[in-house]
Amino acid sequence: MTSLMDTSKAGSGRVVISVDAMGGDHGPWTVVAGIARSARKNPELDFILHGPEPELTRLVARRRALRGRCTIRHAEGVVAMTDKPSQVMRHGRDTSMWSALESVREGEATVAVSCGNTGALMALSMIRLRKLPGVNRPAIAILWPSRNKQGFNVMLDVGADIRADAQDLLQYALMGASYARNGLALPCPRIGLLNVGTEEHKGRAELKEAHDLIEASARIGQYSFVGFVEGGDIPGDRCDVIVTDGFTGNVALKTGEGTASLIGDFLRQAFAFSPLSRFASLLAYTSLQRLKKRIDPRRVNGGVFLGLNGTVVKSHGSADATGVSAAVKLAYELARTGFGDRLAARVASAAELAQDAPAARAVQNDG
Amino acid sequence: MTSLMDTSKAGSGRVVISVDAMGGDHGPWTVVAGIARSARKNPELDFILHGPEPELTRLVARRRALRGRCTIRHAEGVVAMTDKPSQVMRHGRDTSMWSALESVREGEATVAVSCGNTGALMALSMIRLRKLPGVNRPAIAILWPSRNKQGFNVMLDVGADIRADAQDLLQYALMGASYARNGLALPCPRIGLLNVGTEEHKGRAELKEAHDLIEASARIGQYSFVGFVEGGDIPGDRCDVIVTDGFTGNVALKTGEGTASLIGDFLRQAFAFSPLSRFASLLAYTSLQRLKKRIDPRRVNGGVFLGLNGTVVKSHGSADATGVSAAVKLAYELARTGFGDRLAARVASAAELAQDAPAARAVQNDG
């Protein structure tokens, strides 16, 4: 281990993020460029960076912003995008991903960030960080551009697990509310349960059961429940948090991304059509950049793993430096607000209250 | 019944479409305007129009294109968007929707078109037209703007039923292939099965079973099977037909529509931002219109109910005259190519072959 971090700065409001330098499509150069960008913006941010030491030392030394703020932890192995989660769980001890989670497990860092293989990252997170008491299935939550005031909705689960029963969906509602409160600064988030219609008689049996459970826990969870919502409400303003199973959420996420990308291509083609349209696109440049910025997937880069002892942010594998920096920013926000502890307290008191039900008790914490 | 149709023209390659004039958000004026537009474009097209006779007679009389080509069938009742399907099934005999399906049931028209309540239309179609032999669950198929040569992919089911087992998904593959062959003129469509990853070990158990069934029937169904696809492939070019259950398909459809609509709004806001951007939007007008046309939902208006004795096209409830005309055009294409009979033959021979399996037999029809 090479410590490039000035230890005299420890304590005193500093936030340490554990970063997996490997496993992304563009390699460690991009990750180091991303964290350097974040370091410039947030002076109280420090890093523990995991990967092959000689290469990382070289890359970090070139970044002035990282001087004295980045500890390198050597890890020889890299989890490839094609590796099966089960194999990584058995043979992945020497990987940078494993090492990055270890820093959170040991309490050296509050949040881990990785651009690597999602399935492997979730599997390792489950065995190394373990599930919070009261949580059956952890979930991955993402931010989705929307018509809401805050500009984003939270959706979960987008692919931690392909199944979810009514109890799991209730846990997702509690965790999603907590995330929206801390990540989007919404005191009382509006929760919607994804279905194929808004009428209460529609949909699968487990959704009707989940509807009633989530409705009954609104006071405990400090959210308001708007009932069933539809796919069109994911980018809409009927609610702030969309609760669904990981299969449906994953399909919705990828459909939305694919649709946005298709429209972007059509827009480029429309403006490349003729000399006049190319001239128009020059004049429209600022307007188009403004649009691009609003729907740029790099700005909302980072799926958050919820329901574990520790927070993990999964960045897109294809993230560039801007994308990595957005994921680090999200990790920083969650670490700074003490999100992990608040979520744990929230889930624990909900589980406790569910056991004590119907005795009504006041919930004190605001996680 | 008032016959405004010139009966001497019957036979001789004419195509009759049965149209429910009521139940859409914009009333019968819009429906009549839409079919008049279709009538001008397709001289061999005739209509049977269902709804309150006095009003329809007045509306039709004003349209020169419909002169001698539109029979009005009186129906007093209207199915509202809020009516429950079960109620419509019991008490809907006097409605224009019921009457429109009756024309297909009686063989007067080949295809029915309605802008009304989807759930009620599917429920009535099931009891009045009945399922094709060998089909357990009918499906709703839609066209989705894509990167494909033909500009569209077929996706089914988008909401006829919230459940689908492996056998149902196989039927959807066969019906979707038939629709792509007749509706998009693709001799050997590529079928993809929607999942959360493309690896064969991923996803729910019924999807793995469906994967093998669809793969094994590729020769019989005259399609090629590309295996599992993801949400991002719905607007992509990896396949021509996306097979999924009605719950997932409905969420994906509405998520895609919602995302496209959000981006459209952002685009308008970006161009309205400043005097310069408003000036740029004037110059970019043609380019933006070109984009709008490619993603205009009215151009692909029409979900097709597959697996019934007769074809039903469901238009968007909010369709304007352009949208109604697009739905009628789709109905006309399907009627003209004898799609219904071909689909029935295809499904029947697949069912028969499944019974005879593993004896290999050649399939002659090309439906």
How does pLDDT run across B66-86, given as a tens digit for each residue? 999 999 999 999 999 889 999
B296-345 pLDDT tens trace:
656 667 789 999 999 999 998 888 999 999 999 999 988 888 888 788 88
Give me the residues of B, 180-219, that contact A with CB < 8 A.
194, 196-197, 201, 203-204
A231-286 pLDDT tens trace:
999 999 999 999 999 999 999 999 988 888 888 888 777 777 777 777 777 777 77
CATH number at residue B223: 3.40.718.10
Are residues B105 and B239 part of one domain? Answer: no
Answer whether residue B238 shows pLDDT above 90.
yes
Chain-chain contact of B281 with A277 (C-beta, under 8 angstroms): no
Question: Which residue in this structure is represented by tokens 């994967």?
Answer: B211
What pLDDT shows up at residue A271?
75
What pLDDT shows up at residue A59?
96
Total domains in the fold of chain B: 2
Residue B303 inside a domain? The answer is no
What is the mean pLDDT of the segment spanning A171-195?
92
Chain-chain contact of B263 with A194 (C-beta, under 8 angstroms): no
Are residues B110 and B11 part of one domain? Answer: yes
Residues of A in contact with B246 (CB under 8 A): 196
Residue A153 inside a domain? The answer is yes
Are residues A270 and A163 part of one domain? Answer: yes
Residues of B in contact with A295 (CB under 8 A): 263, 266
Of all residues in chain A, the one with the smallest CA distance to B296 is A263
What pLDDT shows up at residue B155?
95
Answer whether residue B361 shows pLDDT above 60.
no
Query: What DSSP string describes B188-212?
Result: SPEEEEE-S-SSTT-S-HHHHHHHH
User: Cα–Cα distance between B150 and B179 in angstroms, integer?
Assistant: 14
Are residues A88 and A160 part of one domain? Answer: no
Give me the residues of A, 141-160, that contact B with CB < 8 A.
145-147, 159
Residue B187 inside a domain? The answer is yes
Q: Measure in Å the smallest separation between the Cα of A314 and chain B Cα atoms.
A: 17
B324-333 pLDDT tens trace:
999 999 999 8
Name the residue among B66, B70, B69 with its Cα closest to residue B49.
Answer: B70
Are residues B112 and B13 part of one domain? Answer: yes
Are residues A252 and A220 part of one domain? Answer: yes
- Per the prediction, chain A carries an average pLDDT of 86
Is the Cβ of A81 closer than 8 Å to some Cβ of chain B? Answer: no
Closest partner residue to A234 (CB to CB) among B258, B260, B273 is B258
Nearest 5°: phi and psi at B120?
-65, -40
| Secondary structure element (H or E) that encloses residue B37, with its range | helix B27-41
Name the residue among B366, B350, B357, B361 with its Cα closest to residue B170.
Answer: B350
DSSP strands (E only) in chain A = 2-3, 15-20, 45-51, 70-74, 111-114, 139-145, 152-156, 190-194, 224-229, 241-243, 303-306, 311-314
What is the mean pLDDT of the segment spanning A62-89?
93
> Any residues with CB less than 8 A from the CB of B249 and at least 6 apart, and which?
B155, B156, B157, B158, B159, B194, B242
Are residues B19 and B117 part of one domain? Answer: yes
Residue B313 inside a domain? The answer is yes
Query: String of b and e for B32-60 (b: at least 16 CB within 10 Å)?
Result: bbbbbbbbeebeebbbbbbbbbebbeebb
Percentage of chain A with pLDDT > 90?
Answer: 58
Residues of A in contact with B291 (CB under 8 A): 263, 266-267, 270
Are residues B148 and B65 part of one domain? Answer: no
Are residues B29 and B86 part of one domain? Answer: yes
- Per the prediction, chain B carries an average pLDDT of 86
Chain-chain contact of A162 with B204 (C-beta, under 8 angstroms): yes
Q: Give residue B202's domain range.
A: 139-297+345-356
Residue A365 inside a domain? The answer is no
Is the Cβ of A80 closer than 8 Å to some Cβ of chain B? Answer: no
Are residues B144 and B110 part of one domain? Answer: no
Are residues A270 and A151 part of one domain? Answer: yes
What pLDDT shows up at residue A343?
81
Are residues A110 and A59 part of one domain? Answer: yes
Of all residues in chain B, the one with the smallest CA distance to A294 is B266
Is the Cβ of A280 closer than 8 Å to some Cβ of chain B? Answer: yes
pLDDT band at B116 (very low <50, low <70, confident <90, very high): very high
Residue A367 inside a domain? The answer is no
Closest partner residue to A287 (CB to CB) among B230, B273, B291 is B273
Residue A362 inside a domain? The answer is no
Residue A332 inside a domain? The answer is yes
Asked if B307 and B137 count as a contact pair (C-beta separation under 8 A), the reply is yes
